[in-house]
Amino acid sequence: MPFCCDPGRKGPRETIMQNRQAALPFILVTILIDMLGIGLIIPVLPGLVTTMYGGDISAGAAVFGWFVASYALMQFLCSPVLGNLSDAWGRRPVILLSLLGAGLDYLLMAFAPNLGWLFVGRVIAGVSGANISTANAYIADVSPPDERARNFGMIGACFGIGFIVGPALGGLLGRYGLRVPFMAAAALTLCNALYGFFVLPESHPRERRRPFDWGRANPLASLGGLGRYPVVFGLAATITLERLAHDSLPSTWVLYTTYRFNWTEFDNGLSLALVGVMYAVVSAGLTGLIVQRLGERRALVTGLMVGSLTFLMYGLASRGWMLYAMIVVGSVGGIATPALQALISKATPATEQGAVQGALASIQSIAAILGPLMATGLFGYFTSRAAPVKVPGAAFIVSSVLVAVGAALAVRSLRLAPAMEPVARGADA
């Protein structure tokens, strides 16, 4: 059986061929199920937290913010740890143990008797969900250099499919009870773990392993290098503001639509599925055409301004159907992210690309921790009795301002280096 074999005893060619045949589909299915599991519970988790907290949606919003932030925090802390553990012990045990943990965790949340246990479950979910770093390493192990870009692109497709199907299915299952989607996610994940136990071979031979080092597992270690490149540093500020704004959507969308328009879990599931569909359409079909026509700089600013306007309209919407319209129109703002990534890449020396991308990933992770706390705090306050005026869309309005400021910073940063030369501070001209 493949799971009991030592890949170090086989020739490199035989090992690679075995891995390529069995591993890549499984890893892609694993990522898809990870996203399905997350998507399944998005429409129901805010309602479950609010119900357990006493039914007050304004008071429950702040508590839910900590649920979202704790998940992001654990991913931020544990992604490099799991990645380094896989370098030391191999990819297979880390992936399978994280899948087993995720499946059992969904069961814990499905039957959690109180808010404390539900929070513990969310923390564990963040730890097990950090296996994406190990999945990426596995794909790099089994992919020839000329196929890696395509295979990593398939990860993005799995993310998109999972976020389309997951919320829609979660909204549908939520009609039968707020805990039913957790049971479905548990069943999918545990079945995947069991299947992987029998079919997933090890991709990282013993002779290539290295001892675990806490220094390499430090998620903040890469941030210090950004200051060496003024243009990159300025654009990193744009990324920070844009991500803070963006993370107001998943953390407050269900709270906002339930409070403002009395949407059900099914309504929220459909709307979030539409977000996934439009993301796929823009990413796969429109981004390249628009960026090619406008150029990266104008595409970046245009995308950010469309995003800012979209957030503002979300916050001011008076009818539920307006949100669907703005999801479709506002999805064009998605061109900003690839344009921004391209500009940063051009402003970074080839020898520093990996370090800079790692630092940017850390920034986005930090924003994913702080953004939900900011957004749910704003929603909770401006829908509570203490608020001088009720503004349910306050989080989206603030997000609109953040993205607009990010656009202004991007314009300023790009003016500093019109030729986009990757020159470090202190480097020779």
Residue 6 forms part of a structural domain: no
Q: Tokens 């924003």 belong to which residue? A: 367
Please say which residue of 142, 169, 202 terminates a domain. Answer: 202
Containing structural domain, residue 18 = 12-202
Give the span between the Cα atoms of 374 and 388, in whole angstroms. Answer: 19
Residue 37 forms part of a structural domain: yes
**Residues 228 and 306 placed together within one structural domain of the fold:** yes
**Residues 60 and 178 placed together within one structural domain of the fold:** yes
Condensed to tens digits (0 to 9), the pLDDT of residues 182-235 reads 999 999 889 888 888 887 877 777 777 777 666 666 666 656 666 666 777 788
Give the span between the Cα atoms of 49 and 68, in whole angstroms. Answer: 11
Give the pLDDT band (50/70/90) at residue 308.
Answer: very high
**Residues 356 and 316 placed together within one structural domain of the fold:** yes
Please say which residue of 168, 202, 236 terminates a domain. Answer: 202
Query: What is the dihedral sign for C-alpha 70, 76, 79, 80?
Result: negative
Give the pLDDT band (50/70/90) at residue 8.
Answer: very low
Note the pLDDT of residue 322: 94
Residue 393 forms part of a structural domain: yes
Give the span between the Cα atoms of 304 and 343, in whole angstroms. Answer: 14
Give the span between the Cα atoms of 31 and 161, in whole angstroms. Answer: 10
Neighbours of 248 (CB within 10 A): 28
Residue 48 forms part of a structural domain: yes
Neighbours of 403 (CB within 10 A): 28
Burial class (CB in 10 A: 0-12, 13-18, 19+), 6: exposed
Roughly what angle, to the nearest 10 degrees, separates helices 296-316 and 287-294? 120
Give the span between the Cα atoms of 210 and 212, in whole angstroms. Answer: 7
**Residues 184 and 328 placed together within one structural domain of the fold:** no
Lowest mean pLDDT of 2-6, 165-169, 242-246, 311-315, name the range. Answer: 2-6
**Residues 128 and 234 placed together within one structural domain of the fold:** no
Note the pLDDT of residue 424: 46
pTM, 2 dp: 0.76
Give the span between the Cα atoms of 123 and 414, in whole angstroms. Answer: 39
Average pLDDT over all residues of the chain: 80
**Residues 187 and 294 placed together within one structural domain of the fold:** no
Residue 227 forms part of a structural domain: yes
Give the pLDDT band (50/70/90) at residue 423.
Answer: very low
Give the span between the Cα atoms of 406 and 403, in whole angstroms. Answer: 5
**Residues 135 and 185 placed together within one structural domain of the fold:** yes
Q: What is the CATH number of the domain that holds 393?
A: 1.20.1250.20
Note the pLDDT of residue 233: 79
Condensed to tens digits (0 to 9), the pLDDT of residues 312-365 reads 999 999 999 999 999 999 988 888 887 887 787 777 765 566 556 666 777 777
Note the pLDDT of residue 324: 94
Query: What is the dihedral sign for C-alpha 260, 261, 266, 268?
Result: negative
| First-last CA distance in the chain | 59
Neighbours of 8 (CB within 10 A): 13
To which H or E segment does residue 252 belong? helix 248-261
pLDDT of 426 over the 60 cut? no
**Residues 84 and 226 placed together within one structural domain of the fold:** no
Residue 410 forms part of a structural domain: yes
Condensed to tens digits (0 to 9), the pLDDT of residues 228-278 reads 667 777 888 898 899 899 888 888 999 999 999 999 989 988 998 898 888
Contact between residue 95 and residue 204 where contact means Cβ atoms under 8 Å apart:
no
Residue 211 forms part of a structural domain: no
Roughly what angle, to the nearest 10 degrees, separates helices 353-382 and 57-89? 160
Contact between residue 327 and residue 274 where contact means Cβ atoms under 8 Å apart:
yes
Residue 207 forms part of a structural domain: no
Contact between residue 60 and residue 50 where contact means Cβ atoms under 8 Å apart:
yes
State the total domains in the chain.
2
Question: In 99-121, which positions are buried (b, 16+ CB within 10 angstroms) versus exposed (e)?
Answer: bbbbbbbbbbbbebeebeebbeb
Give the span between the Cα atoms of 82 and 217, in whole angstroms. Answer: 8
Give the span between the Cα atoms of 117 and 354, in whole angstroms. Answer: 39
Contact between residue 294 and residue 302 where contact means Cβ atoms under 8 Å apart:
yes
> DSSP assignment, residue 203?
-
**Residues 340 and 249 placed together within one structural domain of the fold:** yes
**Residues 97 and 35 placed together within one structural domain of the fold:** yes
**Residues 300 and 373 placed together within one structural domain of the fold:** yes
**Residues 75 and 178 placed together within one structural domain of the fold:** yes
Note the pLDDT of residue 190: 92
Condensed to tens digits (0 to 9), the pLDDT of residues 382-405 reads 999 888 999 999 999 999 999 999
> DSSP assignment, residue 114?
S
The residues, ordered by sequence, that sit 6+ positions from 263 with a Cβ below 8 Å of its Cβ are 254, 257, 271, 320
- Residue 226: strand, helix, or coil: helix
Please say which residue of 154, 177, 202 terminates a domain. Answer: 202
Give the span between the Cα atoms of 171 and 162, in whole angstroms. Answer: 14
Burial class (CB in 10 A: 0-12, 13-18, 19+), 140: middle
